[in-house]
Structure 1
Amino acid sequence: MATTRLTSRRRQDSGSKWVRIAMAVLATVGVIDTGSITLKRWGLLGSLSCPGGAEGCDKVLNSAWGTIARGDGFSIPLSFVGLLAYLAVLVMAILPLLPGLAENKTDLSRRTWWGLFTVATGMAVFSLVLVGLMVFKIQAFCFFCVLSALISLTLLVLAVAGGGWEDPAPLLFRGVLLALAVLLGGLIWASVVDPDRPGAPVTGPGAPPAVTTASNASTLALAEHLTASGAVMYSAYWCPHCHEQKELFGKEATEQLKVVECAPDGQNSQTKLCQQKGIEGFPTWEINGKLDSGVKPLKSLARLSDYKGPSDF
């Protein structure tokens, strides 16, 4: 009889159903947070109201650490990785609560608790690395970044408190190893991406990095046409996407563009003009009196500005 009761208890989910629900709610908030940032970075969502000031959010999100991959007119922001992580937490939190899983519910529940603990630990540690970068390197405040860090830490606390762990030793051992691995990997990544690292191009205080690609006849012609038609590129020296846009043109063509520096501490700054124009993100193009933010493929700039010249971009 005692053996039967013990077996019955082991077959049950020792974790808390309500903690799962709380984690699902927090993960949903995280999905909204990181999803909004990602859509904004991809130009699919309008401006976001950032408590504490849009400039701080833009400076953090558009910093060298805000993007993990770039292509021709396309980039994968770090917020997209956060979005995937929150989606994973959401799925693992609610999956054992769904009907029709009675046969494998115990095993599924235990596996998802380990999954929740693993993902939450990685998110929490990496979030601390990002907060450190925000405070000490970027020196700006981003409400959405702080919110994501707080959610990640809370998810870790809930995973530890609500998982019903019978033996905390394996949990502690795996958690420490994972935390150290994520911390080491995060610090290495942060140092590799750091634009101020030894060996990185030095351009002087408040100056954008040098453009390294070469222009051709088409990009030169497009740049000259944009300037002649009154097009303006509003930029910030610390913005990697602004540099990405310039790299599409090449060094010689970039020199023909009219680029307005919006960062208050940038060289030849025109912050007041940027404020008057209502610039909230970088780069922002003003073409034919209309503002359009984000990195633009050269063919799109040609179409928007009614360019009719050679188009070997």
Structure 2
Amino acid sequence: MRKRSQPWIQRKSRFIIAAIAALGAVITAYLAITAFADVSAACPTEGCDKVLSSPYAVVFGLPLALFGFLAYVAMGVFAVAPWLINPETKKSQRRTVEDWTWRFLLIGSVAMGVFSAYLMYIMVFEIQSFCLYCLASAICALALLGLTLAGQHWEDIGQVIFTGIIVAFITFVGSLAIYSPIHSPTAETETSSGYAISTTSTPDSIALAQHLRERGIKMYGAFWCDFCQRQKELFGREAAEELDYVECDENGVNPNPAACQAAGIQSYPSWEIDGELQRGLIPLNELADLSGYTGSRDFQAN
């Protein structure tokens, strides 16, 4: 009896899974680097900043993209692991590794697919903005799930379905638990007004903020913008209250989106200094230089 030929998708599945995992790792690595470097990701849409600066983009105090990068790396390792074993001399060992890595690929792809779907829901219905990088990562995660299911001849389909349901349930419940603090009454109050500033201003940082206001220098931002929060943290709580701050998101406190639109604001934070826009988080010494501040410069907030 002639042996049934193996479908091409099953012959090439591990290679394709490794390639997609590599692409996902590149995307998430870039987002993690930009997060650690405190810079905005290059994106054709403004929504990227809103999504990547939202509280949903941080898990356990670290960028969510970092965990995505580790997940993609793990999937890539599971995909290529059998290739590291010589099939001629260690055939039995290679077969064992293939079996176990398929199980890990199944568990990992289901978890990543469910979590990515949940994040897409958050992006569309909670944050209400579009992030090209997030969408690309979600497509990669769902592609890994599809390839894992179609790329292997699963002998016990019932076991695959049972495993998938259990992993999906745990992932979904875990996702709700991770982000539950964001939906608490305290967090919802903070979200609309910006998070409380934890640092204390020095007399010099207060003097700089007063100088900026006197010069008519404005800071444009949004309550959800992580970089805006960090900019205020540099000033400290007392000095930040002296700033001429313009809230650009209509859902924030005392918003003035019309002023932001008239000023041509495209990213947050943005500073309007002498009729010119300076974009991004700016160190206080640099703000002092740009504004002509001549006082002392002990700006280190505590």
Q: Quickly say closer, same or farther: Cα 1:121–1:286, change in 2 above 3 A.
A: farther
- Preserved CA contact (<8 Å) 1:43 1:293: no
Aligned partner of 1:302 among 260, 279, 285:
285
**Is 1:291 matched with 2:278?**
yes
User: Given residue 64 of structure 1, which amino acid in structure 2 is its aligned partner?
Assistant: P
Q: Which residue number corresponds to residue 117 of structure 2?
A: 128
Q: Distance in 2 between the 1:81 and 1:18 partners?
A: 27
Q: Quickly say closer, same or farther: Cα 1:100–1:305, change in 2 above 3 A.
A: farther
Matched residue SS, 1:16: helix
Q: Distance in 2 between the 1:98 and 1:209 partners?
A: 49
Aligned partner of 1:61 among 52, 59, 63:
52
**Greater fraction of residues in helix:** 2
Q: Which residue number corresponds to residue 76 of structure 2?
A: 90
- Preserved CA contact (<8 Å) 1:125 1:182: yes
**Is 1:33 matched with 2:24?**
no
Q: Distance in 2 between the 1:232 and 1:93 partners?
A: 52
Matched residue SS, 2:187: coil
Matched ranges for 1:105-116 at <5 A: 105-116=94-105
User: Given residue 192 of structure 1, which amino acid in structure 2 is its aligned partner?
Assistant: P
Give the CA deviation at 1:228: 6.2
Stretches of structure 2 lacking an aligned partner (at least 5 in a row): 1-8
Q: Distance in 2 between the 1:201 and 1:212 partners?
A: 18
Give the CA deviation at 1:287: 7.4
**Is 1:198 matched with 2:185?**
yes
- Preserved CA contact (<8 Å) 1:221 1:309: no
Q: Quickly say closer, same or farther: Cα 1:303–1:60, change in 2 above 3 A.
A: closer
Please give the per-residue CA displacement for 1:17-74, whole angstroms capped at 9, x wherever unaligned.
4001111121122123223333333448775233xxx12222222212112255xxxx
**Could you state the TM-score of these two structures normalised by the residue count of structure 2?**
0.77
Q: Which residue number corresponds to residue 223 of structure 1?
A: 209
Matched residue SS, 1:234: strand
Give the CA deviation at 1:130: 0.8
Superposed CA RMSD in Å reads 3.2
Q: Which residue number corresponds to residue 9 of structure 1?
A: none
Q: Distance in 1 between the 2:26 and 2:272 partners?
A: 30
Aligned partner of 1:19 among 2, 13, 18:
13
Give the CA deviation at 1:224: 4.0
Q: Distance in 1 between the 2:118 and 2:13 partners?
A: 26
**Could you state the TM-score of these two structures normalised by the residue count of structure 1?**
0.75
Give the CA deviation at 1:261: 3.0
Q: Percent identity?
A: 35
- Preserved CA contact (<8 Å) 1:264 1:271: no
Matched residue SS, 1:163: coil
Stretches of structure 1 lacking an aligned partner (at least 5 in a row): 1-14, 71-75
**Is 1:268 matched with 2:268?**
no
User: Given residue 115 of structure 2, which amino acid in structure 1 is its aligned partner?
Assistant: F
Q: State how many pairs are aligned.
A: 281
